[in-house]
């Protein structure tokens, strides 16, 4: 026989289910005995009809399923269906009900103009589902066995995955598990796979992200304990960077190496050079400090806050309080001070001859006072 | 004349004869009956007959895996089936002879 297309396969399944419903009063064993090859026989008959006869559908070829069932049981020497049987049908098989609903929905959809191309597309995707279904079964087995990961990491797990995929694809192709008494197996597997596929994909994705972050940690040397983490930023960092690290404060010394305070720093275009951008909210540690500091701004003659006046002054964070607007402010009784200088005096500059030349264009010493 | 009515009485015999030729599964038996000229036979009647002959012990049954399709249940004849076939064949031939003579006389007369 040749492989039927999906429509026919559904027709066959639907017809066979209807026949079985008409036989339901005989009990499951008798029904199975009478109809275990029914799908295969119907499919083959349909196939023959298609190729050598008139291409009639199952209904035209065999008449109503109830008649088919009646003929089957009569030929088998069994009593015709009783009224009792029809009552039994009310308590129908949920699998059959689902199939019936599926067929009904499909019929409605096929009446819509846009559906056939969509259906053809979905049919083309079926092998993807077969693979995915095999993978889901593998994942469930792996979880039960305590393993995890997208893909197997050892031979046994690999064999389970291959086996699950083969079973799934063979069932998908209609090659295996076609017997009526095995029908529960693929139906159960399908239901489980449909229910489990999204949680499993989400879980696997989470694990992948987690393992990628572990890998990132590893390459950054955090797991080894020794390395320095390198942060690569696409955007330029605003502020002042020394040796790859942003600095929070600048200390300025004059030509003699004496510390200067209240030095305004601008770049070549007159933009203020700032080290902090948190407007006083941030806290910074100094070497050998016992608690972090926060900085305060200076105010220029126009009343604007200036953050490019170095060294930035501030106070230990615990001295700050919060005003009504939730802003961090220094209370009146404390005053901002200059944080500890790195050293009291820097090396003095050599009195190079060009210093005199330079002095014409720029003031060589600061206009500000010493601390 | 409605041959389906005639067929009902001899379907067992026809099915036994086909299966005694060579083992076959349900639709295969239908196909061979049709090829032999029994066109009107209903598929379901053949399947039902096969089941009945099997449960009465005249046929054996076994499942054959298939490369391209589902597994199929094959039926083969056994000693009891052969005995049944022989007895029915004799009955049929006697009956057919009788009918033949009867009809011949009628035609000739």
What pLDDT digit, counting tens, does each position of B23-52 carry?
999 899 999 998 998 888 888 899 999 999
Residue B108 lies in a domain: no
Please give the DSSP secondary-structure letter assigned to residue A329: E
Tally the domains of chain B: 1
Residue A108 near residue A12, CB atoms below 8 Å: no
Q: What is the pLDDT of residue A230?
A: 59
Q: Which of A45, A48, A178 shows the shortest C-beta gap to B71?
A: A178
* Mean pLDDT on B5-12: 82
Q: Report, in angstroms and rounded to the nearest whole number, the Rg of chain B calculated over CA atoms.
A: 16
Chain A: give the shortest CA distance to residue B66, in Å: 8
Distance between CA B80 and CA B58 in Å, rounded?
Answer: 5
Ordered per-residue pLDDT tens for chain A, 371 residues: 444 556 666 678 888 888 888 888 887 888 888 888 888 888 888 888 777 666 677 787 888 888 888 888 888 888 777 654 444 455 566 777 777 788 888 878 877 888 888 888 888 898 999 999 999 888 888 888 877 677 788 888 889 899 999 998 988 887 787 776 777 787 888 888 888 888 888 887 777 777 777 777 666 655 555 555 555 656 666 788 888 788 888 899 988 889 988 899 998 998 889 888 877 778 888 777 788 888 888 888 888 888 899 998 888 888 888 777 777 777 777 788 888 888 888 888 887 655 555 444 444 444 444 44
Name the helix (H) or strand (E) containing A14.
Answer: helix A6-23
* B53 has a pLDDT exceeding 80: yes
**Tally of CB atoms within 10 A around A259:** 19
Mean pLDDT computed over every residue of chain B: 86
For residue A26, how far is the Cα from the chain centroid? 51
Distance between CA A254 and CA A177 in Å, rounded?
Answer: 90
Residue B4 lies in a domain: yes
φ and ψ at A217, to 5 degrees?
Answer: -60, -40
Q: Could you tell me which residue, A331 or B78, shows the higher pLDDT?
A: B78
Distance between CA B12 and CA A253 in Å, rounded?
Answer: 117
Q: What's the CATH code of the domain at B90?
A: 1.10.10.10
The B residues from 64 to 83 touching A (CB cutoff 8 Å) are 66-73
Interchain CB distance below 8 Å, A174 and B69: yes
> Which residues in chain B have their CB less than 8 angstroms from residue A43's CB?
69
Report ipTM (2 d.p.).
0.84
Interchain CB distance below 8 Å, B27 and A40: yes
Distance between CA A265 and CA A299 in Å, rounded?
Answer: 14
Domain extent for B87: 1-101
Q: Which of A40, A71, A76 shows the shortest C-beta gap to B70?
A: A40
Q: What is the pLDDT of residue A370?
A: 46
Q: What is the pLDDT of residue B98?
A: 92
> Which residues in chain B have their CB less than 8 angstroms from residue A34's CB?
47-48, 51
Residue A292 near residue A316, CB atoms below 8 Å: yes
Please report how the helices B26-35 and A38-52 are oriented relative to each other, as an axis angle in degrees rounded to 10: 40
- Calculate ∠ Cα B76-B78-B82, nearest 5°: 110
* B108 has a pLDDT exceeding 60: no
Pair of tokens at residue A82:
């009783």
Residue A164 near residue A137, CB atoms below 8 Å: yes
Q: What is the pLDDT of residue A2?
A: 44
Taking the alpha carbons at both ends of chain B, their separation in whole angstroms is 22
What share of chain B in percent tops pLDDT 70?
Answer: 92
Interchain CB distance below 8 Å, B27 and A175: no
Residue B109 lies in a domain: no
DSSP 3-state assignment of A252?
Answer: strand
Residue A281 near residue A247, CB atoms below 8 Å: no
This prediction has a pTM of: 0.41
Chain A residues whose C-beta is within 8 A of a chain B C-beta are 1, 3, 33-34, 36-41, 43-45, 48, 62, 68-69, 71-77, 174-175, 178-179
Q: What is the largest CA-CA distance in chain A?
A: 126
């Amino acid at each position: 026989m040749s492989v039927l297309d999906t429509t026919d396969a559904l027709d066959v399944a639907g017809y066979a289910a209807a026949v079985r419903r008409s036989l339901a009063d005989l009990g499951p064993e008798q029904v199975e005995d009478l109809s275990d090859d029914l799908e295969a026989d119907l499919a083959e008959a349909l196939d023959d009809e298609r190729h050598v006869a008139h291409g009639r559908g199952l209904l035209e070829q065999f008449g109503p399923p109830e008649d088919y069932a009646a003929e089957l049981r009569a030929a088998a020497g069994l009593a015709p269906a009783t009224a009792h049987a029809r009552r039994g049908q009310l308590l129908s098989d949920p699998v059959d009900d689902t199939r019936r609903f599926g067929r009904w929905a499909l019929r409605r959809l096929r009446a819509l103009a846009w559906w056939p191309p969509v259906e053809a597309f979905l049919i083309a995707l079926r092998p993807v589902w077969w693979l995915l279904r095999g993978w889901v079964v593998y994942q469930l087995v792996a979880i039960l066995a305590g393993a995890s990961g997208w893909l197997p990491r050892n031979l046994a797990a690999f064999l389970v995955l291959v086996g699950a995929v083969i079973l799934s694809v063979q069932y998908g192709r209609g090659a295996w598990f076609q017997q009526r008494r095995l029908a529960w197996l693929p139906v159960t597997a399908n239901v489980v796979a449909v229910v489990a596929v999204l949680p499993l994909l989400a879980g696997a994705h989470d694990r992948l992200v987690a393992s990628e972050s572990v890998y990132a940690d590893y390459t950054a040397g955090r797991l080894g304990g020794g390395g320095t983490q390198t942060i690569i930023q696409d955007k330029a960092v605003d502020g002042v960077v020394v040796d790859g690290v942003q600095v929070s404060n600048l200390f300025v010394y004059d030509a003699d190496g004496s510390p200067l305070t209240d030095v305004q720093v601008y770049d070549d275009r007159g933009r203020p050079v700032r080290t902090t951008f948190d407007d006083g909210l941030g806290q910074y540690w100094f070497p050998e400090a016992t608690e972090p500091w926060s900085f305060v701004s200076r105010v220029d003659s126009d009343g604007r806050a200036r953050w490019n006046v170095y060294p930035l002054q501030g106070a230990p964070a615990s001295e700050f309080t919060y005003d009504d607007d939730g802003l961090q402010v220094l209370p009146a009784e404390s005053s901002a001070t200059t944080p500890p200088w790195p050293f009291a005096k820097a090396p003095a500059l050599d009195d190079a001859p060009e210093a005199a030349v330079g002095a014409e264009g720029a003031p060589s010493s600061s206009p500000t006072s010493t601390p | 004349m409605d041959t389906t009515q005639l067929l009902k009485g001899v379907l067992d015999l026809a099915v036994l004869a086909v299966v005694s030729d060579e083992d076959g599964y349900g639709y295969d038996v239908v196909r061979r009956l049709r090829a032999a000229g029994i066109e009107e036979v209903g598929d379901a009647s053949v399947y039902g007959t096969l089941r009945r002959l099997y449960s009465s012990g005249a046929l054996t049954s076994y499942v054959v895996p298939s490369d391209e399709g589902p597994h199929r249940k094959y039926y083969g004849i056994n000693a009891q089936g052969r005995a049944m076939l022989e007895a029915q064949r004799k009955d049929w031939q006697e009956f057919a002879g009788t009918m033949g003579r009867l009809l011949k006389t009628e035609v000739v007369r």
